[in-house]
Structure 1
Amino acid sequence: EMKGSTWGYGEENGPSLWHKDYPVAQGSRQSPIDIVPSEASFDPRLAPIQLSYDQCTSINISNNGHSVVVEFDDSDARSVIHGGALPNPYRLRQFHFHWGEKGCHGSEHTVAGKAFVSELHLVHWNAEKYKTFGQAAQEPDGLAVLGIFLETGDDHRWLHKITDALYMVKFKGSVSDFKGFNPKCLLPSSLHFWTYPGSLTTPPLHESVIWIVLKEPIVVSEKQMGKFRMLVFNGEEEDLRSRMENNFRSPQPLKGRKVLASFK
Structure 2
Amino acid sequence: MAEEAEVEILSKLEKIKEIRNKTVQLEKVKNRLKAELETVENEETCIQDYRTEMDLLMQEKMAHVEELRLIHADINLMETTVKQAEEDRNKSLESAKQLFQDLRPLKHQVDMLRSSVGLEKLPDIREAGEKLPLEWVITFAYDGLYQVLCRLLEKQKMDYMPEMPDPTSMFSQNLVAAVAAQTMERASTSGMNKPMESARQPQVSVSHSAAAAFRQQPPPMKACLSCHQQIHRNAPICPLCKAKSRSRNPKKPKRKHDE
Shorter-chain TM-score bucket reads under 0.3
Q: When the two structures are superposed, what TM-score results if normalisation uses the length of structure 1?
A: 0.14
**Normalized per residue, which structure has more strand?**
1
Which is higher, the Rg of structure 1 or of structure 2? Answer: 2
Q: Which has the higher contact order (CA 8 A, sep 6+)?
A: 1
Q: When the two structures are superposed, what TM-score results if normalisation uses the length of structure 2?
A: 0.14
**Normalized per residue, which structure has more helix?**
2
